[in-house]
Structure 1
Amino acid sequence: MVSLSKKLEPKEDSIPKYLVVAQSLSSIAPLGSVSAYLTFAMTYSLASTGLSAILGSLVYLVWVIIGYRYSKVIASTGGTYEFAKQGGGELVGSIAGWLYWISYATYLSSVTTYLVSSVIPTFVGVSQTELSAIEVILPVLLFLLVISGVKPPLFYSLVTSSVEVLLIIALGVKVFALRGFSYSAFTLTVPTSNFFAGAMAVAFTLAGGGASFFLGYEAKGKGKTVSTSYLLAFSIAAVAVIFASFYEVAFVGYANAGVISLLNETQFPGYYISEQVFGAPFSAVFLAFTVNSLIGSAVAAYVALARLTYTLVSRDMFRSVVIVFLFFFAWNLVGGITGQLLPLYYLTTEISLVTLFVSHLIVSVVYPLFSRRIKGISVVDVALATLGSATMAYGVYSNLFPLQLDSGIALGTTLAVSAIIALRKWAKVWGSSYSQGKKPDLKPNKG
């Protein structure tokens, strides 16, 4: 136990840049996004999905720049917790950090349950009992991979994410060779509201690259490495998703009717197109790496979450990995026992998205305060904070309303976590002050 804890302990300047890029890129899950998640954008934007993808990438780029600027200065195992803390003080940092923790912890269950409930049954004939067994086994397998040390999971992410991008490129080149390219792809074919809804779907498809923020202490080159790796991974993923959005529309003839027909045929357009243009062998590889993409995304989240737990709860990495496992395993065990995999997926996804957006919203709001401490506030800082906050606020709103059971639970979780942290902070201040016979000081911590 002692030797394992020592093995897992974060080591300063130990992770090369290419593995930091892999952590960031795999957390976005490029092939998973193209094969499945891009479906949401296509539902809204239809034949204008390519345009929506460009706009969505630019929208999310605003938050990427904020994350880039934070991570360039703050290199730690605490990631977004440290970002918010430096801008708004300990209380604000704790709220943002714990909301991020809840987001990543429920994401682990969300992505693995999506794999078990939606992906595997679509392509493989398995019984409900077998699906329940897989649901429970996956957290154990990821736990074993993460306790092998930080580099094996990152090498796994490097290989899978690199192959994912190559598969996306190969499929796109083949589709364009067969169908050709038309400038009609740049024509708006849906109402403006649908177009923007599709753009926001693409923007949030590209979320996740911030998993590299938590490698700041271990990365060779510290903040400079993390910030540039984050920007590079986002750029690669954005180009891949934009490219895919254009060739998926090209495959159906650049028409709304064609996109509608495609979505009626499958909820996995990337895989479906690969099967149609390349045949079974290529599509089998495409499917295998789509599954790997989802698993790689979970691995990246686990690696990041273990470090956030290390910062917030326990300065022992093995104990932190175990804490994450227990939370992760508990969710999946409920799904495995009850067999209610789809409801579990919807619930964990809702909680993960709402807490993620609120955490990012907090980090965006306090960005000018962070900037003031570092170099002074500029108009650009205020503009970034405003646009970033607006983007994340929209993410919160779009997931909460219309308010339903899942979104209500997500809202309740967010408010409960924030209230508990605030009450603990204030109780600590009051208790400390009264024990010293002083009047409690409830002014915000300046960090």
Structure 2
Amino acid sequence: MERISEGRTLKKGAAGFYSLLGQSIAMISPLGAVAATMTGAAEFAKGSLPLAYIISIFGVLIWINTPYQFSKKINGAGGFYTFNSQGASPTYGLIIGYMMWFSYFMVITNAILFTSGVFIPGTISYFLHFNIGSYTWIPIMTAFIVILTVIAYLGIKPSLAYSFTASVIEIALLVITSVVIIVALGSKNTYVPFTAGPADGFAAVAVGMVLAIFSMSGSSAVVTLGEEAQQPRKNIKKALLISFIITGVVFVLTSYALTVGWGVSKMSTFFTSSVPGLIVSDKYLGLPFTIVLFVFIINSLFAGSLAPLNTSSRMIFSMSRDGLGPSMFSKVHPVHKTPYIAIITMAGVAYVVSLAAGLLIGPEDGFLYLVTASSAALFVGHILSNFGLGVTYKKLKEFKILTHAVIPAIATVILAIAMFYSFVPPAYPVDYSIITAVVFIIISAIAIVIYAIKHPEAIKRAGSTDMEVQNDIYREK
């Protein structure tokens, strides 16, 4: 088989294990997740928030089984697209590819809007009692996306070096904050948050668990670095697992510290406060540390925006390189070896979408609309990939009932429950989010099926270039 020319490939061997680990953790965005998703989980789980996170660890372990098992055999810039195209079928994989691309793309939009239009104004309003203005978020978001684009454009190494450094600092700050709060409380520490009592039953804990699972699910985005990773079949699955373990332990610790720091019986007011994590930090660690924490939460949200920009641009690059997307997205920068046109386009369109959402329905509702649309596509894409995993390993004649059927089936049930509690009953703007995601999924799926019928030979290229590059990587070892 003829090798792929260097002008059509990304920078091989640019990402070692620690860089991959940084990408995994950055997509989770620990400090950002505490500021956003953990606060949302507390609305339901209340004083049982730590219990929700403990249970969610098992949920996430089941969730990441599918990309973990896939990455043992198949890797590439397309991630889930390549997994399913080369495993289940080309048409099936391309449908999932565009679905997961949509999800990761929408993560960029909701992250930049939340940071500029919700978190920064809310923090300034609470601590300084000052309203920065209705439209100040626009220049903040503009600067945010420009810096993101430049870093992603300059190459994967700067992006991953930044992500890894930011991740280490975030984890350290969360551990320090949690330990100080727990030590300061002394004898007031209690086991009660690890029971369902404060939530008035397991039903509320289960809903909180759904959001807790979502807050730790981003690690699977690392699979799109298969072309740039060193020893991808080894290091990607390793980064997936270790990032999950690290963030899982830290989230349980942090959820407990914030719960007891706020007051177990008072957790009903945690969600309704503008920035509860910073309020608790100010109470136990003082304003100077809280300012540092604020800065690094912004940094976390920045890294959490950079990671999906890298991911979505590589997915569309991979599909386009196979002739199954706009050809301009398959171009690689001659110096930086990045899919630079895809990066610039994804960033530009994400900015326009975020701006439109913020202006039309406001930053808060705009954020909810964008994040829910992303969640819907992510859940469906993962469910379809769970089925694709079993098909893939049957083709490989390495099928194992537990890891390739039972665990994916449990993951599908968890995801179905997550979808139900996230979207039922539908409420503004969630109902419009679901419509947006469903319309995108249906239109893209119909278009792909029609294309596959009309161009059966072309559709067979799905994921093939990624596999050829992988073969080159292992031949060169």
The answer to whether the 8 Å contact 1:24/1:230 transfers is: yes
- Pair 1:260-2:268 in alignment: yes
CA contact (8 A) 2:66 2:389 kept: yes
Shift of 1:344: 2.5
Q: Is the 8 A contact 2:113 2:358 kept in 1?
A: no
Per the alignment, residue 327 of structure 1 pairs with 349
Q: Deviations over 1:135-193 (max 9, x none)?
A: 33322221111111111111111111111100111011111111133222322212221
TM-score, normalising length from structure 1?
Answer: 0.90
CA change 1:263–1:401 in 2 (3 A) is closer
Aligned length: 428
Residues 1:148 and 2:175 aligned together: no
* Alignment partners' CA distance in 1, 2:233 and 2:342: 23
Deviations 1:216-261 (CA, angstroms, capped at 9, x unpaired): 12111111101101111111111111111111122134x3x22124
Taking structure 1 as reference, are residues 53 and 336 closer, same or farther at Cα in structure 2, changes over 3 Å only? closer
**CA deviation vs aligned residue, 1:29-52 (integer Å, no higher than 9, x gap):** 111112231112211112211111
Distance 1:8 1:333 in 2: 33
Q: Over aligned residue pairs, what C-alpha RMSD do you find? A: 2.4
Q: Structure 2: how far apart are the matches of 1:422 and 1:8? A: 27
Query: Quick one: which of 342, 364, 374 aligns to 2:396?
Result: 374
User: Cα offset for 1:21?
Assistant: 0.3
Matches of 1:340 and 1:49 in 2, distance apart? 29
Cα distance change of structure 1 residues 340 and 47 upon mapping to structure 2, 3 Å threshold: closer
How many percent of aligned residue pairs carry the same amino acid?
22
Residue 28 of structure 2 is matched in structure 1 by 28
Task: Give, in angstroms, the shift of residue 375 of structure 1.
Answer: 4.3
Deviation at 1:424, TM superposition (A): 2.0
Say which SS state the counterpart of residue 129 (structure 1) adopts.
coil
Q: Name the residue aligned to 2:144.
A: 138
Instruction: Provide closer, same or farther for how the CA distance between residues 368 and 273 of structure 1 changes in structure 2, counting only shifts above 3 A.
Output: same
Deviation of 1:339 (Å): 7.6
The answer as to 2:186 corresponding to 1:186 is no
Map of 2:434 onto structure 1: 407
Q: Relative to structure 2, which stretch is displaced further, 290-299 or 124-133?
A: 124-133
- Which residue of the other structure, out of 275, 288, 309, is the alignment partner of 2:282? 275
* Partner Cα separation in structure 2 for residue 166 and residue 7 of structure 1: 40
Match for 1:225 among 223, 226, 235? 235
Q: CA shift at 1:87, angstroms?
A: 3.0
Is 2:419 the partner of 1:419? no
Q: Deviations over 1:52-79 (max 9, x none)?
A: 1110111111011221111122121111
Cα offset, 1:8, TM superposition: 10
Aligned to 2:248: 238
Q: 1:361 maps to which residue?
A: 383
Who is 1:293 aligned against? 300
Match of 1:169 among 158, 175, 178: 175
Structure 2 counterpart of 1:438 = none
Distance in 1 (alpha carbons) for counterparts of 2:43 and 2:285: 25
* Unaligned stretches of 5+ residues in structure 1: 1-5, 434-441
Structure 1 residue 405 displacement after superposition: 2.6
Deviation string 1:93-115 (CA, Å, 9 cap, x unpaired) is 00100011111111111111011
1:338 to partner: Cα distance:
5.0
4+ runs deviating over 6 angstroms: none
**Counterpart contact for 2:43–2:270, Cα < 8 Å:** no
CA contact (8 A) 2:24 2:220 kept: yes
Say whether 1:210 aligns with 2:233.
no
* Residues 26 and 446 (structure 1), Cα distance of their counterparts in 2 relative to 1, 3 Å cut: closer
Aligned partners of 2:359, 2:143: CA distance in 1, in Å?
A: 12
Distance change (3 Å), C-alpha of 1:419 and 1:249: same
Instruction: Say whether residues 1:349 and 2:358 are aligned partners.
Output: no
Alpha-carbon distance in structure 2 between the residues aligned to 1:375 and 1:276: 58
CA contact (8 A) 1:36 1:267 kept: no
CA separation in 2, counterparts of 1:143 and 1:258? 42
Alignment-derived partner of residue 336 in structure 2: none
Return 5+ residue gaps in structure 2 as ranges.
1-5, 125-130, 321-328, 332-338, 465-477
What residue identity is the alignment partner of 1:152? P
TM-aligned CA distance change 1:405 to 1:261, over 3 Å:
closer
1:315 offset after TM fit, Å? 2.6
Q: Is the CA contact (8 Å cut-off) linking 1:136 and 1:336 kept in structure 2?
A: no
Tell me if the contact between 2:258 and 2:280 (Cα under 8 Å) persists in the aligned partners: yes
Q: TM-score, normalised by structure 2?
A: 0.84
2:291 counterpart residue number: 284
Q: Which residue of 2 aligns with 1:109?
A: 109
| Residue 334 (structure 2) aligns with | none
Q: Which residue of 2 aligns with 1:16?
A: 16
Q: CA deviation at 1:360?
A: 0.8
Per-residue deviation, 1:23: 0.4
* Aligned counterparts of 1:104 and 1:47: Cα–Cα separation in 2: 32
Q: Which residue of 1 aligns with 2:414?
A: 391
